[in-house]
Structure 1
């Protein structure tokens, strides 16, 4: 609590200094000052700031911010769902830009109560929402025209992807990460499921909801024909050889044919500006693996 009192006094002193100097305070319409200190929470928001060239004021980030490298190298204030006022205030920010999943909400309320600008950007887990997210971040950072251009580019790429002819029916398994001797697989209601559908793949585990570990029996039953896995997940597993040695993998068509696609999960599943292009890359990788050639449209 003493830290909160200190922060309040500091904010008052800074505000008084600005008024004496005749300088305006931060605007509520999203206009910013070069000396402001921002914390960004959420990899999608960080990537959007970077794409809009609006990240110069960012001094810290949360653990989900892995791109661009310059922002990933900044000090971390923790994980977006487990924030603390102390950690955030330790970097002396003026403003926090976050997606809707940051919490606990009480922490964000405490930050606002001590004088920080806390801007929460709606981040629905849908591809259609990416353009709206870009426009919202652009509005908050006085990059409206740049944001509109980027939003239209994203929409054009997603429209081109949607207009591609369907692939031959193909059952895919998306492994996000590995735990123990069973892969952690994406079911319905996940960003990975959305990505598979977007490139015309059938999720072999769509009958389950969320991410779950699955054993040899489930692998044999659902019989995925190809594996999509994050690079981090494959590295954690110990590489491709270790993947094919998982119990039950040899009982699947994917395991027998060693059909594997490795993706950047942050770029593909973050539903940020890079996601549409990553979906196109995934689609082309799938076609190459299946020996088809339907992606004649380019983003």
Structure 2
């Protein structure tokens, strides 16, 4: 059993698409904004933008790994990142050290897709595949495992730095700072945090202020096997709040991060809009398949087919592109305001 917390958030599997916003906006009897039709939110450029070109790391550096171990890093010329959301690879690129990345986990973006995937099954680490890359440092978290593999890598003498696996708006800055510290580029880390904070603030400031706040339900689905409604702490609730909307699971009184979908839970949450990952939507047969789930057709969102989907590897990554994610979601949630 893992010694660390493994949030349900990291059950999510990665990928991304193109912006397609369609539909119109109405106001229901309660005064909430209700946009009709399905649309996809996408950031225009999925590649992280480096904050610096070829920064020179100040090494050696000793950092406290999230598992409580002090780890000394002396060389960052061959970096491997392994986490479910792909946030660590995004951060390495955004810090200007993308050329040093030699291996990554399944979640990827165009600039990293040519690199070896050390989690080819999407979930489990492959020790042999990682060792074959001769890494000088491994950045990872407990969203991926098994832990025995990470400990095996550390036992060979490779510096293995764990970071906090939690992904929310509150962890964006600390996550960037942790990676920057481990790679010996704290100044670039501070600059990247500043730029990311500015982009998040700009996205929030652009949200229409004169519209009733819609109620948005975040659903996580994997076909008929997994059907969950997000609640407080899901990560999506933070995005929904930042978008000037209400999290449906929280409004319905859910207390868990995710609750199995029932007709009662869906109807009680009464969402105007359903927010969902692209693969989740595809796994149930698209908007019509989603409407057939328990209680969905009885909600304003189900009746209007008011659905916003976004690629799995982007929506809850909470990395350096969080401002872009918010801006794309805002465009899809308030299509008339952005049109």
Cα distance between partner residues in 1 of 2:188 and 2:264:
51
Task: Identify if the C-alpha distance between structure 1 residues 171 and 117 changes in structure 2 by more than 3 Å, giving closer, same or farther.
Answer: same
Q: For each residue in 1:179-234, what CA deviation from the matched residue of structure 2 results, as whole angstroms up to 9, or x when unmatched? A: 31874321221111221122122122221412233133332232211111111112
1:235 is aligned to 2:282: yes
Task: Identify if the C-alpha distance between structure 1 residues 122 and 250 changes in structure 2 by more than 3 Å, giving closer, same or farther.
Answer: closer
Task: Identify if the C-alpha distance between structure 1 residues 100 and 155 changes in structure 2 by more than 3 Å, giving closer, same or farther.
Answer: farther
Paired residue secondary structure (1:175):
strand
- TM-score with structure 1 setting the length: 0.75
Question: Which range moved further: 192-201 or 137-146?
Answer: 137-146
1:41 is aligned to 2:87: no
Shift of 1:161: 4.6
Cα distance between partner residues in 1 of 2:122 and 2:186:
26
1:252 aligned to which of 299, 302, 319: 299
Task: Identify if the C-alpha distance between structure 1 residues 31 and 53 changes in structure 2 by more than 3 Å, giving closer, same or farther.
Answer: farther
Paired residue secondary structure (1:224):
coil
Who is 2:95 aligned against? Answer: 52
Shift of 1:173: 1.2
Cα distance between partner residues in 1 of 2:248 and 2:322:
22
Q: Is the 8 A contact 1:167 1:200 kept in 2?
A: no
Cα distance between partner residues in 1 of 2:182 and 2:268:
49
1:28 is aligned to 2:75: no
Who is 2:117 aligned against? Answer: 76
Shift of 1:116: 0.6
Cα distance between partner residues in 1 of 2:122 and 2:79:
15
Shift of 1:87: 4.7
Who is 1:22 aligned against? Answer: none
1:133-148 equivalences in 2 (<5 Å): 133-148=175-190
Task: Identify if the C-alpha distance between structure 1 residues 153 and 100 changes in structure 2 by more than 3 Å, giving closer, same or farther.
Answer: farther
Cα distance between partner residues in 2 of 1:184 and 1:243:
12
Who is 1:12 aligned against? Answer: none
- TM-score with structure 2 setting the length: 0.67
- Name which structure has the greater RCO, CA cutoff 8 Å, separation 6+: 2
Structure 2 unaligned blocks of 5 or more: 1-57, 62-72
1:135-284 equivalences in 2 (<5 Å): 135-162=177-204, 165=209, 168-180=212-224, 183-206=227-250, 207-284=254-331
Paired residue secondary structure (1:146):
helix
The structure that has the greater radius of gyration is 1
Task: Identify if the C-alpha distance between structure 1 residues 27 and 81 changes in structure 2 by more than 3 Å, giving closer, same or farther.
Answer: farther
Paired residue secondary structure (2:99):
coil
Task: Identify if the C-alpha distance between structure 1 residues 58 and 236 changes in structure 2 by more than 3 Å, giving closer, same or farther.
Answer: same
Cα distance between partner residues in 2 of 1:44 and 1:166:
34
| Higher share of residues assigned helix | 1
Shift of 1:279: 1.1
Shift of 1:69: 2.6
State the aligned residue count.
262
Cα distance between partner residues in 2 of 1:123 and 1:202:
25
Question: Which range moved further: 53-62 or 72-81?
Answer: 72-81
Cα distance between partner residues in 2 of 1:140 and 1:222:
42
1:118 aligned to which of 154, 160, 167: 160
Structure 1 unaligned blocks of 5 or more: 1-25
Q: Is the 8 A contact 1:45 1:99 kept in 2?
A: no
